[in-house]
Amino acid sequence: MTDWLQRTELLIGADGLNNLKRANVLVVGMGGVGSFAAEFLCRAGIGQMTIVDGDRVDPSNKNRQIVALNSTVDIHKADVMAARMHDINPDMQLTVIKEFLTPDLMMELVTTKFDWVLDCIDSLQPKLYFLGAAATNGVKVASSMGAGGRVDPQKVRIAPIFETDCCRFAYKIRKGLRRKGFANANIIAVYSEELVNRESLQLTDGSNFKRSYYGTISYLPALFGLNLASVVIRDIIK
């Protein structure tokens, strides 16, 4: 046992810790949700991880993303995250993919070599392709719904995607999954029952499949990431 994981082993035991060390997890999206999810997994002792993000740090990311600092602006988010995690656990086997995933690449990447895959994509169509790939290939998947436009941490919930409520983004995901033939897909969702603040909506030029976004507060995306990580960790150690 390495000293830095001593307190983790005290809580979950040697078997639980060894299960984490043997686990292999994929996290797609290193933004406000995914960056925190990846770090919480790393700090728990996950032995193998693949992180994916084709974006670079923008100054507007600093209000909510763990990768975003003045010193990291315009650097690939995946590179910043990889450096952080190697600084936490140099023994972790880490694969870094610095590109936006196409549907074909998702089908190739999302396989049962991973114990879990985490969907931290914030655009609807790429998210549906990713969840469809996980469902097709029989991979355990947990997915983040929208954290934007909300401020209440007590409204965040974990549930199967088809049992979610009050989240318009989750409704669109459910509708899209049914349309693609995945009405029985076993997908765990992290979502909020707080009604979104529609006055915080901002329209975009539609690039990268993103037509709009909501304002965000610092802690809500991190809480979504924490819950995603907890789904994976609690399943692996049991």
Mean pLDDT per 10-residue section of the chain, whose length is 238 residues: 87 98 98 98 98 97 98 98 98 97 96 98 95 97 96 98 96 97 97 93 71 90 98 97
* pLDDT (0 to 100) of residue 204: 74
Report d(CA 50, CA 97) in Å as an integer.
7
Residue type at 134 in one-letter notation: A
Q: Is 216 helix (H, G, I), strand (E, B) or coil?
A: coil
Q: Give the contacts of 96 (CB within 8 A, at least 6 positions apart).
A: 50, 51, 78, 79, 82
Strand stretches in 53-180, DSSP E: 93-97, 116-119, 141-144, 156-160
The pTM of the full predicted model, rounded to 2 decimals, is 0.95
* pLDDT (0 to 100) of residue 209: 56
Token pair listed for 227: 């819950």
Token pair listed for 84: 């952080």
* pLDDT (0 to 100) of residue 1: 45
Helices and strands, number each (H, E), in the chain:
7, 9
Report d(CA 40, CA 142) in Å as an integer.
15
Residue 56 DSSP class:
B
Token pair listed for 204: 């975009």
* pLDDT (0 to 100) of residue 2: 55
* Longest CA–CA separation in the chain, Å: 51
CB atoms within 10 A of CB 4: 11
